[in-house]
Structure 1
Amino acid sequence: MRSLPLALTARLAPVVVLATAGWALSSGPLSAAPATEKKAAPDGGTSPSAPAASAAVRTYRDSPAPCEGVTKKTVTSLVPGAKTAGKEIPSTDESLRRTCSWNALKGFDYRWLDISYELKKSDESALAAYKQRTTEKSGGGKVPGLGDEAYSVVNLTTDDKQQTREGMVIVHASNALVVVTYNGSDFESKKAPSTDEINKGAIKAAKEGMAALEAAQ
């Protein structure tokens, strides 16, 4: 039998050695013992593959179309002469804040109404924003039965003998804030509407706005 050329034998020798070593390691006497089955962690233990804690659940994820937050009937009542469709004010991020306003001058009576929806990432951040707003707008009082909590304040300002009375209602509900501003002036008498008229109008709009937020979810 002819022997293989020396050069070819030298090239094949390492392959034979590796193959023999592979047999010895995998099935021969030098083979490793089979790995033991990994037991489940005891009750209460933490598994490295356990899923991470889920993100905080937000009650309100979507804002309604703000110009539909107040009914046409209420807009006509609070802002006589205004176009009931309203005008949405541009926002840098509509997923976080949306606002609509209505205003009109009928005769000498001027009225302005706006509503804003602000959605926060958590209930805590919404509550912090609510507390900050109500602290800045001191002198008001609680509005019962609206959201988790609500606050109303009315202020009178005078500019060049012209009075303007403005009411604001701030509603906190879970991770959302609903804010209504309502004001008015009489340019003939230079007087402002009564505190009662402005306060009741703002609260009425806020209640409708809160109902629209709940319906949008």
Structure 2
Amino acid sequence: MSEGTMQRAAHRDQRDRRSAGGRRRGRVLVGAAAVPVLLLAAACSSGSDSGSGDGAKETQAGKAEVSASPSASPTVQAARYAKLPEACKVLSGRTLDDLVPKADEAGKEGTSSDVSQRASCSWDSLQNRGVKGSQFRWLNVSLLRFTSDQTRGTGERQAQEFYRKQVQDAQSVDGAKNTKAEPVSGTGDEATAVRYDLKKKEGAFKQQTVVARVANVVVTVDYNGAGLAGDKTPDADDLMKSAEKAAEEAVTAVAKANGDSTAASGSGSSSSTGSPSASASKGASGKGEGSASPSPSKSSSASASASASAAKS
């Protein structure tokens, strides 16, 4: 090989080496430029995952805290009175002598599955005047106590509703004539007196019903009288005064049985939602709701039957 040929071969070899080196440096630079991009992408991805993880943890923690806290349940105010007096002992001996002369003061206790919530007692008397006829009297005292309940509400609210129904029922008795109703003051938180005439084959009966409420207890006094075998019909005003007196005593007995001396004279909770006079006028006009009250109608029937038997004997 000549010297010129060897020089040209050496120059080609050097150019090839420089070209190869340049290509390698280009690849290195390209690879180096790609590294920051990958690192940046990894950093962004890592930050996003970390943020979502913290948010998920906070959400789960919040849910756990909410589920761990107890749910607040509504509370109902406890009823004021927790018991009832003995129904046959709510009236004094003197009152019984005035209303039902010569009657057995022990009375006849009504049936009840729980006397702490429902109780009643009745008395009857017959004064035989011989050829002048006789006077019959029948007296019944009923006590009903309501307890507070989350579904039905407070005991006082239930008593208010029952009180109004009792007043309306007393004014809706089948066969009643000359029905009148008026509020009674000084007896419990609210009270209403209802009177009417009831004609029976044994005689003309004068019926008096006093419904009173004291806190969560409703007291109903039924009192009727009749003149039999030719005796004169008793005065309705006198009978009503006696019935109101009996109702006041019964309300006082309820308060005393629960160690309360403030509610006997009408100075109790006094939170009625409806006035007695309004209920009375509504029932007297024939717009009262509900069927005839079992107490007045049964009392009249019972008194009629008892008077008939007594008259025969």
Verify same fold: TM over 0.5.
yes
Q: Tell me what 2:219 maps to.
A: 178
Structure 1 residue identity aligned to 2:98: S
Count of matched residue pairs: 174
Query: Which secondary structure does the structure 1 equivalent of 2:119 belong to?
Result: strand
The Cα of 1:56 is off from its aligned counterpart by 2.4
Q: Which runs of 4+ in 1 moved over 3 A?
A: 49-55
The Cα of 1:111 is off from its aligned counterpart by 0.7
Structure 1 residue identity aligned to 2:181: G
TM-aligned CA distance change 1:131 to 1:183, over 3 Å: same
Q: 2:139 aligns with which of 113, 119, 144?
A: 113
The Cα of 1:75 is off from its aligned counterpart by 0.2
The Cα of 1:92 is off from its aligned counterpart by 2.8
Q: 2:170 aligns with which of 98, 112, 137?
A: 137
- Whether 1:146 aligns to 2:187 is yes
The Cα of 1:162 is off from its aligned counterpart by 1.1
Moved more, 78-87 or 188-197: 188-197
Indicate the structure with greater helix content: 2
Structure 1 residue identity aligned to 2:69: P
Q: How does 1:42-191 map to 2 (within 5 A)?
A: 48-49=69-70, 52-107=73-128, 108-121=134-147, 122-138=155-171, 139-160=180-201, 162-189=203-230, 191=232
Task: State whether residues 63 and 119 of structure 1, in contact with CA within 8 Å, keep that contact through their aligned partners in structure 2.
Answer: yes
Q: State, as a whole percentage, how many aligned pairs show the same letter.
A: 29
Q: 1:95-143: CA deviations, max 9, x gaps?
A: 3210011111121111111111100121111111111121233331100
Partner Cα separation in structure 2 for residue 48 and residue 190 of structure 1: 76
Structure (1 or 2) with the larger CA radius of gyration: 2
The Cα of 1:52 is off from its aligned counterpart by 4.5
Q: How does 1:23-34 map to 2 (within 5 A)?
A: none
The Cα of 1:215 is off from its aligned counterpart by 0.4
Q: Tell me what 2:235 maps to.
A: 194
Partner Cα separation in structure 1 for residue 206 and residue 90 of structure 2: 23
Partner Cα separation in structure 1 for residue 250 and residue 207 of structure 2: 18
Task: State whether residues 202 and 228 of structure 2, in contact with CA within 8 Å, keep that contact through their aligned partners in structure 1.
Answer: no
Partner Cα separation in structure 2 for residue 190 and residue 159 of structure 1: 15
The Cα of 1:175 is off from its aligned counterpart by 1.0
Report the TM-score, using the length of structure 2 for normalisation. Answer: 0.52
Query: Which secondary structure does the structure 2 equivalent of 1:140 belong to?
Result: strand
Structure 1 residue identity aligned to 2:140: D
Task: State whether residues 135 and 231 of structure 2, in contact with CA within 8 Å, keep that contact through their aligned partners in structure 1.
Answer: no
Indicate the structure with greater strand content: 1
Structure 2 residue identity aligned to 1:129: F
- Whether 1:209 aligns to 2:235 is no
Query: Which secondary structure does the structure 2 equivalent of 1:76 belong to?
Result: helix
Partner Cα separation in structure 2 for residue 197 and residue 84 of structure 1: 21
Moved more, 189-198 or 50-59: 50-59
The Cα of 1:188 is off from its aligned counterpart by 2.6
Task: State whether residues 168 and 179 of structure 1, in contact with CA within 8 Å, keep that contact through their aligned partners in structure 2.
Answer: yes
Structure 2 residue identity aligned to 1:128: E
Backbone CA RMSD of aligned residues: 2.1
Report the TM-score, using the length of structure 1 for normalisation. Answer: 0.74
